[in-house]
Protein backbone atom coordinates (compact mmCIF):
# COMPACT_ATOMS: atom_id res chain seq x y z
CA UNK A 1 0.00 0.00 0.00
CA UNK A 2 3.07 2.22 0.21
CA UNK A 3 3.46 1.62 -3.53
CA UNK A 4 7.04 0.34 -3.25
CA UNK A 5 8.07 3.22 -0.98
CA UNK A 6 9.73 2.76 2.35
CA UNK A 7 7.43 5.32 3.98
CA UNK A 8 4.03 6.81 3.26
CA UNK A 9 5.65 10.22 3.37
CA UNK A 10 7.94 9.35 0.44
CA UNK A 11 4.95 8.00 -1.47
CA UNK A 12 3.02 11.18 -0.73
CA UNK A 13 5.95 13.36 -1.82
CA UNK A 14 5.93 11.41 -5.08
CA UNK A 15 2.19 11.84 -5.48
CA UNK A 16 2.40 15.63 -5.40
CA UNK A 17 2.04 16.24 -9.15
CA UNK A 18 -1.13 14.16 -9.18
CA UNK A 19 -2.43 15.73 -5.97
CA UNK A 20 -1.98 19.21 -7.42
CA UNK A 21 -3.74 18.25 -10.64
CA UNK A 22 -6.63 16.88 -8.58
CA UNK A 23 -6.87 20.11 -6.58
CA UNK A 24 -7.22 22.13 -9.78
CA UNK A 25 -9.57 19.73 -11.55
CA UNK A 26 -13.19 20.85 -11.63
CA UNK A 27 -12.47 24.24 -10.06
CA UNK A 28 -12.39 26.16 -13.34
CA UNK A 29 -15.37 25.62 -15.61
CA UNK A 30 -16.76 27.78 -18.40
CA UNK A 31 -14.14 30.43 -17.72
CA UNK A 32 -14.91 30.76 -14.01
CA UNK A 33 -13.34 29.61 -10.76
CA UNK A 34 -15.88 27.54 -8.87
CA UNK A 35 -15.99 26.46 -5.25
CA UNK A 36 -17.28 23.07 -4.13
CA UNK A 37 -19.92 24.53 -1.83
CA UNK A 38 -21.22 28.07 -1.52
CA UNK A 39 -23.92 28.95 0.97
CA UNK A 40 -23.40 32.70 0.63
CA UNK A 41 -24.32 34.86 -2.37
CA UNK A 42 -21.93 36.10 -5.05
CA UNK A 43 -22.75 39.58 -3.73
CA UNK A 44 -21.45 38.55 -0.29
CA UNK A 45 -18.17 37.54 -1.93
CA UNK A 46 -18.04 40.82 -3.84
CA UNK A 47 -18.55 42.75 -0.62
CA UNK A 48 -15.56 41.22 1.15
CA UNK A 49 -13.25 44.01 2.28
CA UNK A 50 -10.71 42.10 4.35
CA UNK A 51 -9.41 38.53 4.48
CA UNK A 52 -8.02 36.52 7.39
CA UNK A 53 -6.40 33.17 6.80
CA UNK A 54 -6.48 31.08 9.99
CA UNK A 55 -4.76 27.72 10.32
CA UNK A 56 -2.11 25.75 12.21
CA UNK A 57 1.28 24.28 11.35
CA UNK A 58 1.87 23.64 7.68
CA UNK A 59 -1.63 24.87 6.79
CA UNK A 60 -0.65 28.20 8.38
CA UNK A 61 2.44 28.30 6.18
CA UNK A 62 0.24 27.71 3.13
CA UNK A 63 -1.69 30.82 4.17
CA UNK A 64 1.50 32.86 4.53
CA UNK A 65 2.41 31.88 0.97
CA UNK A 66 -1.06 32.72 -0.35
CA UNK A 67 -1.10 36.19 1.21
CA UNK A 68 1.32 37.40 -1.49
CA UNK A 69 -0.95 36.19 -4.29
CA UNK A 70 -4.31 37.13 -2.78
CA UNK A 71 -3.27 40.69 -1.98
CA UNK A 72 -1.69 41.09 -5.41
CA UNK A 73 -4.71 39.77 -7.26
CA UNK A 74 -7.56 41.23 -5.20
CA UNK A 75 -6.08 44.37 -3.60
CA UNK A 76 -7.72 43.22 -0.38
CA UNK A 77 -5.70 43.29 2.85
CA UNK A 78 -4.92 39.73 3.98
CA UNK A 79 -3.84 38.79 7.47
CA UNK A 80 -2.59 35.31 8.20
CA UNK A 81 -2.93 34.13 11.75
CA UNK A 82 -2.33 31.05 13.82
CA UNK A 83 -5.76 29.71 14.68
CA UNK A 84 -4.74 29.26 18.31
CA UNK A 85 -4.03 32.98 18.64
CA UNK A 86 -6.83 34.38 16.51
CA UNK A 87 -9.87 34.24 18.76
CA UNK A 88 -8.06 35.17 21.93
CA UNK A 89 -7.19 38.66 20.76
CA UNK A 90 -10.57 40.06 19.73
CA UNK A 91 -9.88 40.35 15.99
CA UNK A 92 -11.87 42.98 14.05
CA UNK A 93 -14.51 40.98 12.19
CA UNK A 94 -17.81 41.83 10.54
CA UNK A 95 -20.11 40.70 7.70
CA UNK A 96 -17.64 41.85 5.09
CA UNK A 97 -14.71 39.90 6.52
CA UNK A 98 -13.82 36.63 4.86
CA UNK A 99 -12.09 34.13 7.12
CA UNK A 100 -10.36 31.39 5.16
CA UNK A 101 -9.91 28.36 7.42
CA UNK A 102 -7.28 26.01 6.00
CA UNK A 103 -7.14 22.47 7.37
CA UNK A 104 -6.11 19.17 5.82
CA UNK A 105 -8.09 17.12 8.32
CA UNK A 106 -10.92 19.60 8.78
CA UNK A 107 -10.98 18.55 12.44
CA UNK A 108 -8.20 20.65 14.00
CA UNK A 109 -9.65 22.01 17.24
CA UNK A 110 -7.88 25.38 17.16
CA UNK A 111 -9.02 26.06 13.61
CA UNK A 112 -12.56 24.88 14.31
CA UNK A 113 -12.82 27.20 17.33
CA UNK A 114 -11.48 30.07 15.22
CA UNK A 115 -14.23 29.35 12.67
CA UNK A 116 -16.88 29.37 15.38
CA UNK A 117 -15.60 32.64 16.78
CA UNK A 118 -15.55 34.23 13.32
CA UNK A 119 -19.13 33.16 12.61
CA UNK A 120 -20.35 34.46 15.96
CA UNK A 121 -18.92 37.82 14.90
CA UNK A 122 -20.88 37.55 11.61
CA UNK A 123 -17.79 37.04 9.42
CA UNK A 124 -18.12 34.73 6.40
CA UNK A 125 -16.05 31.58 6.56
CA UNK A 126 -14.59 29.71 3.63
CA UNK A 127 -12.97 26.34 4.39
CA UNK A 128 -10.07 24.92 2.41
CA UNK A 129 -10.06 21.28 3.41
CA UNK A 130 -8.79 17.88 2.25
CA UNK A 131 -11.40 15.75 4.00
CA UNK A 132 -14.91 15.60 2.64
CA UNK A 133 -17.63 16.33 5.16
CA UNK A 134 -15.26 17.11 8.06
CA UNK A 135 -16.41 19.43 10.84
CA UNK A 136 -14.72 22.63 9.62
CA UNK A 137 -16.29 22.54 6.13
CA UNK A 138 -19.63 21.60 7.70
CA UNK A 139 -19.58 24.75 9.82
CA UNK A 140 -18.40 27.04 7.01
CA UNK A 141 -20.29 29.24 4.51
CA UNK A 142 -18.27 28.02 1.53
CA UNK A 143 -15.88 25.18 0.87
CA UNK A 144 -13.07 24.44 -1.52
CA UNK A 145 -11.81 20.88 -1.22
CA UNK A 146 -8.17 20.17 -2.03
CA UNK A 147 -8.86 16.61 -3.28
CA UNK A 148 -5.23 15.62 -2.61
CA UNK A 149 -6.28 12.15 -1.45
CA UNK A 150 -5.74 10.75 2.06
CA UNK A 151 -2.47 11.75 3.69
CA UNK A 152 -1.10 9.13 6.07
CA UNK A 153 2.32 10.55 6.98
CA UNK A 154 2.02 12.83 10.01
CA UNK A 155 4.19 15.40 8.25
CA UNK A 156 2.12 17.21 5.68
CA UNK A 157 3.48 17.10 2.12
CA UNK A 158 0.99 16.72 -0.71
CA UNK A 159 -1.75 18.33 1.38
CA UNK A 160 0.49 21.36 1.87
CA UNK A 161 1.09 21.84 -1.85
CA UNK A 162 -2.61 21.31 -2.48
CA UNK A 163 -3.46 23.92 0.18
CA UNK A 164 -1.27 26.50 -1.55
CA UNK A 165 -2.98 25.81 -4.89
CA UNK A 166 -6.44 25.88 -3.28
CA UNK A 167 -5.70 29.14 -1.47
CA UNK A 168 -4.68 30.58 -4.82
CA UNK A 169 -8.00 29.47 -6.28
CA UNK A 170 -9.72 31.30 -3.43
CA UNK A 171 -7.72 34.40 -4.37
CA UNK A 172 -8.74 34.08 -8.00
CA UNK A 173 -12.39 33.51 -7.01
CA UNK A 174 -12.28 36.77 -5.02
CA UNK A 175 -10.54 38.63 -7.86
CA UNK A 176 -13.20 37.35 -10.23
CA UNK A 177 -16.04 38.37 -7.90
CA UNK A 178 -14.56 41.82 -7.31
CA UNK A 179 -13.52 42.40 -10.91
CA UNK A 180 -9.92 43.16 -9.96
CA UNK A 181 -8.95 40.67 -12.67
CA UNK A 182 -10.56 40.30 -16.07
CA UNK A 183 -11.83 36.83 -16.98
CA UNK A 184 -8.94 36.29 -19.41
CA UNK A 185 -6.45 37.16 -16.65
CA UNK A 186 -8.09 34.66 -14.30
CA UNK A 187 -7.87 32.08 -17.08
CA UNK A 188 -4.19 32.86 -17.57
CA UNK A 189 -3.40 32.50 -13.87
CA UNK A 190 -5.29 29.22 -13.82
CA UNK A 191 -3.33 27.98 -16.84
CA UNK A 192 -0.10 28.78 -15.01
CA UNK A 193 -1.30 26.72 -12.06
CA UNK A 194 -2.14 23.90 -14.44
CA UNK A 195 1.48 23.81 -15.59
CA UNK A 196 2.66 23.17 -12.03
CA UNK A 197 2.15 19.39 -11.77
CA UNK A 198 4.73 18.97 -14.57
CA UNK A 199 7.12 21.39 -12.82
CA UNK A 200 6.75 19.46 -9.55
CA UNK A 201 7.38 16.22 -11.45
CA UNK A 202 10.59 17.76 -12.73
CA UNK A 203 11.81 18.76 -9.28
CA UNK A 204 11.23 15.18 -8.10
CA UNK A 205 14.21 14.24 -10.27
CA UNK A 206 16.42 15.87 -7.59
CA UNK A 207 15.26 13.38 -4.93
CA UNK A 208 18.40 11.20 -5.07
CA UNK A 209 20.70 14.20 -4.87
CA UNK A 210 18.77 15.60 -1.89
CA UNK A 211 18.70 12.24 -0.08
CA UNK A 212 22.44 11.96 -0.49
CA UNK A 213 22.84 15.44 0.96
CA UNK A 214 20.49 14.53 3.83
CA UNK A 215 22.69 11.58 4.77
CA UNK A 216 25.77 13.81 4.77
CA UNK A 217 24.33 16.45 7.10
CA UNK A 218 22.26 14.15 9.32
CA UNK A 219 24.53 14.58 12.34
CA UNK A 220 24.36 18.39 12.36
CA UNK A 221 23.28 20.08 15.59
CA UNK A 222 20.96 22.51 13.85
CA UNK A 223 19.91 23.72 10.43
CA UNK A 224 18.79 27.23 9.51
CA UNK A 225 16.52 28.13 6.58
CA UNK A 226 16.43 31.51 4.86
CA UNK A 227 14.08 32.93 2.27
CA UNK A 228 12.44 36.14 1.17
CA UNK A 229 9.03 37.02 -0.27
CA UNK A 230 7.20 33.72 -0.94
CA UNK A 231 10.46 31.94 -0.11
CA UNK A 232 10.15 33.05 3.52
CA UNK A 233 7.17 30.82 4.40
CA UNK A 234 8.92 28.04 2.45
CA UNK A 235 11.86 28.46 4.85
CA UNK A 236 9.47 28.20 7.81
CA UNK A 237 7.93 25.05 6.35
CA UNK A 238 11.37 23.49 5.71
CA UNK A 239 12.31 24.13 9.34
CA UNK A 240 9.01 22.71 10.65
CA UNK A 241 9.51 19.52 8.62
CA UNK A 242 12.98 19.06 10.05
CA UNK A 243 11.87 19.72 13.64
CA UNK A 244 8.96 17.32 13.53
CA UNK A 245 10.73 14.48 11.70
CA UNK A 246 14.39 14.68 12.71
CA UNK A 247 13.95 16.28 16.17
CA UNK A 248 16.62 18.79 15.27
CA UNK A 249 16.80 22.44 16.09
CA UNK A 250 15.68 24.16 12.91
CA UNK A 251 14.60 27.74 12.35
CA UNK A 252 13.33 29.59 9.33
CA UNK A 253 14.13 33.28 8.93
CA UNK A 254 13.36 36.06 6.53
CA UNK A 255 16.77 36.61 4.98
CA UNK A 256 16.43 40.36 5.45
CA UNK A 257 16.44 39.75 9.20
CA UNK A 258 19.89 38.14 9.23
CA UNK A 259 21.70 41.27 10.36
CA UNK A 260 19.03 41.95 12.95
CA UNK A 261 20.00 38.91 14.98
CA UNK A 262 20.15 35.46 13.39
CA UNK A 263 23.58 35.95 11.82
CA UNK A 264 24.99 35.64 15.34
CA UNK A 265 24.05 31.95 15.19
CA UNK A 266 26.30 31.25 12.22
CA UNK A 267 29.31 29.11 13.03
CA UNK A 268 31.72 26.85 11.21
CA UNK A 269 29.95 24.01 9.44
CA UNK A 270 26.36 25.06 10.27
CA UNK A 271 24.14 24.01 7.36
CA UNK A 272 22.02 26.91 6.10
CA UNK A 273 19.41 26.25 3.45
CA UNK A 274 18.67 29.27 1.28
CA UNK A 275 15.60 29.46 -0.95
CA UNK A 276 16.61 31.75 -3.83
CA UNK A 277 14.13 33.92 -5.69
CA UNK A 278 14.28 33.87 -9.48
CA UNK A 279 17.19 35.96 -10.86
CA UNK A 280 14.86 37.21 -13.61
CA UNK A 281 11.51 37.40 -11.82
CA UNK A 282 12.83 39.02 -8.63
CA UNK A 283 16.23 40.45 -9.59
CA UNK A 284 16.51 42.90 -6.69
CA UNK A 285 15.70 40.34 -4.02
CA UNK A 286 17.92 37.84 -5.78
CA UNK A 287 20.98 40.07 -5.54
CA UNK A 288 20.26 40.84 -1.87
CA UNK A 289 20.15 37.12 -1.14
CA UNK A 290 23.37 36.49 -3.03
CA UNK A 291 25.07 38.98 -0.73
CA UNK A 292 23.45 37.31 2.32
CA UNK A 293 24.86 33.97 1.19
CA UNK A 294 28.33 35.37 0.69
CA UNK A 295 28.17 36.79 4.24
CA UNK A 296 27.14 33.54 5.88
CA UNK A 297 29.59 31.56 3.80
CA UNK A 298 32.40 33.89 4.86
CA UNK A 299 31.47 33.05 8.47
CA UNK A 300 31.86 29.34 7.84
CA UNK A 301 28.28 28.25 7.12
CA UNK A 302 27.74 25.31 4.82
CA UNK A 303 25.40 26.80 2.21
CA UNK A 304 22.70 24.64 0.69
CA UNK A 305 21.06 26.63 -2.06
CA UNK A 306 17.72 25.95 -3.73
CA UNK A 307 17.88 27.97 -6.94
CA UNK A 308 16.30 28.26 -10.33
CA UNK A 309 18.01 26.33 -13.14
CA UNK A 310 20.59 28.49 -14.85
CA UNK A 311 21.10 30.78 -11.83
CA UNK A 312 24.83 31.27 -12.41
CA UNK A 313 25.23 34.22 -10.05
CA UNK A 314 24.57 32.11 -6.95
CA UNK A 315 26.65 29.10 -7.98
CA UNK A 316 30.01 30.34 -6.55
CA UNK A 317 28.40 30.70 -3.10
CA UNK A 318 26.61 27.36 -3.04
CA UNK A 319 28.39 24.51 -1.28
CA UNK A 320 25.43 22.40 -2.37
CA UNK A 321 23.20 23.50 -5.22
CA UNK A 322 19.73 22.04 -5.75
CA UNK A 323 18.12 23.23 -8.95
CA UNK A 324 14.41 23.81 -9.40
CA UNK A 325 12.61 24.64 -12.65
CA UNK A 326 11.88 28.26 -13.54
CA UNK A 327 8.23 29.03 -12.75
CA UNK A 328 6.27 32.25 -12.10
CA UNK A 329 7.40 33.86 -8.83
CA UNK A 330 4.15 33.38 -6.93
CA UNK A 331 4.16 29.68 -7.79
CA UNK A 332 7.75 28.97 -6.80
CA UNK A 333 6.81 27.56 -3.35
CA UNK A 334 5.14 24.64 -5.14
CA UNK A 335 8.54 23.53 -6.40
CA UNK A 336 10.96 24.90 -3.79
CA UNK A 337 9.23 23.11 -0.89
CA UNK A 338 9.73 19.66 -2.38
CA UNK A 339 13.50 19.31 -1.78
CA UNK A 340 12.99 20.51 1.81
CA UNK A 341 10.45 17.72 2.42
CA UNK A 342 12.86 15.12 1.04
CA UNK A 343 15.75 16.56 3.04
CA UNK A 344 13.84 16.33 6.34
CA UNK A 345 12.64 12.80 5.64
CA UNK A 346 16.11 11.57 4.76
CA UNK A 347 17.77 13.18 7.76
CA UNK A 348 15.14 11.55 10.00
CA UNK A 349 15.61 8.18 8.31
CA UNK A 350 19.39 8.39 8.67
CA UNK A 351 19.00 9.19 12.36
CA UNK A 352 16.85 6.09 12.71
CA UNK A 353 13.48 7.73 13.30
CA UNK A 354 10.02 6.71 12.10
CA UNK A 355 9.35 9.14 9.26
CA UNK A 356 5.60 8.50 9.17
CA UNK A 357 5.00 8.65 12.91
CA UNK A 358 7.24 11.18 14.61
CA UNK A 359 7.30 11.09 18.39
CA UNK A 360 4.71 13.08 20.34
CA UNK A 361 2.72 14.08 17.25
CA UNK A 362 -0.73 13.08 15.99
CA UNK A 363 -1.97 13.45 12.43
CA UNK A 364 -5.01 15.33 13.54
CA UNK A 365 -4.95 17.57 16.62
CA UNK A 366 -8.49 17.53 18.00
CA UNK A 367 -7.81 19.19 21.33
CA UNK A 368 -6.77 22.81 21.81
O1 LIG B 1 -5.27 19.04 9.56
P2 LIG B 1 -4.68 20.45 9.62
O3 LIG B 1 -4.26 20.93 8.26
O4 LIG B 1 -5.60 21.42 10.29
O5 LIG B 1 -3.39 20.30 10.50
C6 LIG B 1 -2.64 21.43 10.86
C7 LIG B 1 -1.33 21.04 11.48
O8 LIG B 1 -1.53 20.26 12.64
C9 LIG B 1 -0.43 20.27 10.51
O10 LIG B 1 -0.17 20.99 9.33
C11 LIG B 1 0.91 19.92 11.18
O12 LIG B 1 1.65 21.09 11.41
C13 LIG B 1 1.70 18.93 10.33
N14 LIG B 1 2.21 17.87 11.16
C15 LIG B 1 2.85 19.57 9.61
O16 LIG B 1 3.62 18.67 8.88
Q: Is 156 in the pocket of ligand 1 (CB under 6 A)?
A: yes
Q: In a 10 Å sphere around its CB, with 0-12 CB exposed, 13-18 middle and 19+ buried, how is residue 328 labelled?
A: middle
pLDDT at 368 over 90: no
Q: Is 103 in the pocket of ligand 1 (CB under 6 A)?
A: yes
* pLDDT at position 177: 95
Nearest protein CA to atom 14 of ligand 1, as residue: 155
**Atom of ligand 1 lying closest to residue 57 CA:** 12
Span 31-82, pLDDT tens digits: 999 999 999 999 999 999 999 999 999 999 999 999 999 999 999 999 999 9
Q: Assess whether 67 carries a catalytic annotation.
A: no
CA dihedral (131, 101, 135, 133) in degrees, to 10, reads -40
Handedness of CA 253, 254, 260, 266 (dihedral sign): positive
Please answer whether residues 180 and 73 qualify as being in contact, where contact means their C-beta atoms are separated by less than 8 angstroms.
yes
Please answer whether residues 366 and 107 qualify as being in contact, where contact means their C-beta atoms are separated by less than 8 angstroms.
yes
**Atom of ligand 1 lying closest to residue 136 CA:** 4
Cα 2 to chain centroid distance, Å, stands at 24
Please answer whether residues 70 and 78 qualify as being in contact, where contact means their C-beta atoms are separated by less than 8 angstroms.
yes
Q: Which residues contact 180 (CB under 8 A, 6 or more apart)?
A: 73, 74, 75, 174
Span 46-60, pLDDT tens digits: 999 999 999 999 999
Mutate to test the pocket of ligand 1, among 13, 53, 59, 247 (most ligand atoms within 8 A of CB): 59
Q: Which residues contact 200 (CB under 8 A, 6 or more apart)?
A: 16, 17, 20, 161, 334, 335, 338
**Atom of ligand 1 lying closest to residue 363 CA:** 14
Amino acid sequence: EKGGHEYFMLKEIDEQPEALANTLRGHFEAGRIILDEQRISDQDLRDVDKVFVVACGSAYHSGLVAKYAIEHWTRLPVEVELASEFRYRDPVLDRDTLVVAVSQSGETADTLEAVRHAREQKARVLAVCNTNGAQIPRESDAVLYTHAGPEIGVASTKAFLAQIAANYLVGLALAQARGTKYPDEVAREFAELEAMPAAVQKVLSTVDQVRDLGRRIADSKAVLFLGRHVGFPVALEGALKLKELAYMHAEGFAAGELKHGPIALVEEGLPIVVVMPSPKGRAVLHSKLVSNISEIQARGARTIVIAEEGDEAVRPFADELIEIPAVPTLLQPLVSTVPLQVLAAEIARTRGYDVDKPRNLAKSVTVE
